[in-house]
Each structure stands twice: as structure tokens, then as C-alpha cells.
Amino acid sequence: MPANSHTARRSLAPPRVKRDWTPYWFAAPVAIYLLLFQGYPLAQELYLSFTSTSLLSPDQHAYVGLQNYIDLVTQDEFRQVLLITAVYTVVCVVLAIGLGLGAALLLDAPFRGRGLARALVTIPWAAPPVAVALIFIWIYNGQYGVFNHLLAACGWTGGMESWLDGPRLALPAVLLTTVWQIFPFASVVILAALQGVSSELREAAVIDGADRLSVFRAVVWPTIQPSVALLSLFLTIWSLRRFDLIWLMTQGGPIGSTNTLVIELYRRAFVYRDLGQGAAVGMVGLSIALVVTVFYFRYNQRTERAKGQR
């Protein structure tokens, strides 16, 4: 009887599910790559941020704890850098998505030559940042740049000045250049999202008497909103880490008016030769990017729960 009861229990027990290791084998090379080329440098940067390390003797470290971060927090110059970075990032994201949405809605409408227009709108995004910077440095020049001549032709009465040489106009000039280059990417992403909007729902809303704005709010926007949210995350992170265009145009000047976090990192690490301070600035930028990412995923989860409750 005991043997039979033991056999009966074994037969009633749920069968063991054999784990499939195939997905892990496929993910292993990517995980190893990230650990070697992303994880280790980040760990090294985190360690450097707690040390006093000179670029001239990088093997000699002096542990200083949180002193590098305390120095950053107490510096008015670094707080100005944070403010400029915030302004630059917000303006870039808002204008790029706004212009990209407008361009995508225009390119989504049927008209002759739409395919050519869709191809041409990607040219600024495809242009190398070095070429874009050199072209706009010439455009903003106060003596022979076409921008001031265009403003004069439109009735602008201001003096002929180089936009990149004064602290009042340098940041708007860099922002204008950045938005000109990145908004085509936003328009392409939003245009791809617009292709997923149901034409039947649009037609039904029009038949019900809805105008274009109502159709956009009730039909189009709920469909493209996840894509726009993800696009906002990417543009925010890219704006936080953009270096080449700003450095080539102004190098963070004049008088620090375009000095963002990435420019400040480069300046402290390779101009002032203080690797500890540069690493601390980099960790501050990484922390901001992580906060933005966490906020996005929480917002996305909240949105998905709201959709599930409807």
C-alpha cells in the first residue's frame, strides 16, 4: 500500500517543464557585449567620480569620496550648466516634435510628388553634423552670412552681428540649427505611426460630423501617442548627450552661454585635465537620463492601465 500510494502521488504531481535555454543563448552575446563595452566603462567612470585623478597621471588616484559632487553642487557655474542643458533639451524636444508632427500630417495627405517630398525632408537628418555646423557658422556670420541679410530684407532693423559671438544670441542660434537637423527624424517616425491610423475610423468620424481637429484628437492622437512618447524619450536622451554640433559651433561659449553637460564634461576632463570632476559631471548626466527613462516607463504603464480599465 505505501508503495502504491507513493506511485499515485507521483502520477498526480504536475510534470516538470523543461526550460528552453535558446532565448538565453541568443541574448548572451548582446549581454556580454554590453557588460564589456558599456558596463565596465560606466563602473570605471563611477569609480573615477569618487577620486581626484589627473589626465596627466591617470594611474594615480586619490580617493575623495563625494567631494567632487559637493564641489559641483556648490558651484554657480555648474548650476548654470544644468539650466542651459534643461533649456536646450526642452526646446529641442518640443520644437522637433511640433515641427515633425506638422510635417508628418502634411506628408500623410495625398498630393502629387508626395514621395519626393518625403525623401527631401530627410536630408537635414542625413547631413553630417560637421557639415551642418560649418554651413550654419557661415550662415550666422555677421559680415557675409545670409541670415542677417535675409532679416534685413524682411525689415529687421537690428545691427548686423554674428549670432555665435554674443551670449544673447548664441543659444538660440544653436537651438535653431539643432532643431533644423533633428525634426526630420521626428517627422519620419510620426509619419510611420500615422500609417497605422485606421482609415475606417477617420471616415466614420467625418460622417458623424467631426471636424479635422476633432478627428485628430479622437482618432489620430490616441493611435500615434505611444510612438510620440517613445520619440520624446529618444530625443531627450540624444539632446542631453549631444556634443559634436555644439562644440563645433561655439565650444560652449561665448561666456558659457551654450555650455551643456556634455561640453562641461569634455572641458573638465580634457581641457582642465581633471578626470575625477569630468566623471562626476558624466554621472550627473547619466542620472538625469535614467530619471527621464524611469518617468517614461511609469507613464507608459499608467497609460496602459488606463486603456485596460476602459
pLDDT of residue 23: 84
HSE-up (13 A, CA, CB side) for residue 285: 28
Average pLDDT score over residue span 20-44: 89
CA dist 98 and 176 (Å) reads 14
Cell readout for 60 is 594615480
pLDDT above 90 (res 142) = no
Query: E strand or H helix at 58, and its extent?
Result: strand 57-63
pLDDT above 70 as % of the chain? 92
pLDDT of residue 207: 82
Give the lowest-confidence range in 67-71, 145-149, 217-221, 252-256.
145-149
pLDDT band, residue 196 (cuts 50/70/90)? confident
Q: Which residue has the higher pLDDT, 169 or 148?
A: 169
pLDDT above 70 (res 164) = yes
How do the domains of the chain map onto residue ranges? 67-309
HSE-up (13 A, CA, CB side) for residue 270: 6
pLDDT band, residue 166 (cuts 50/70/90)? confident
Q: Are 126 and 133 in contact (CB under 8 A)?
A: no
Mean pLDDT of the chain: 88
Cell readout for 155 is 525689415
182: Cβ contacts below 8 Å, ≥ 6 apart: 92, 96, 124, 125, 235, 238
SS3 assignment, position 15: coil
pLDDT of residue 60: 87
Options 1.10.3720.10, 3.90.1640.10, 3.40.50.2300, 3.40.50.620; CATH of 67-309: 1.10.3720.10
pLDDT band, residue 76 (cuts 50/70/90)? very high
pLDDT in tens, 119-136: 899 999 999 999 999 999
pLDDT band, residue 157 (cuts 50/70/90)? low
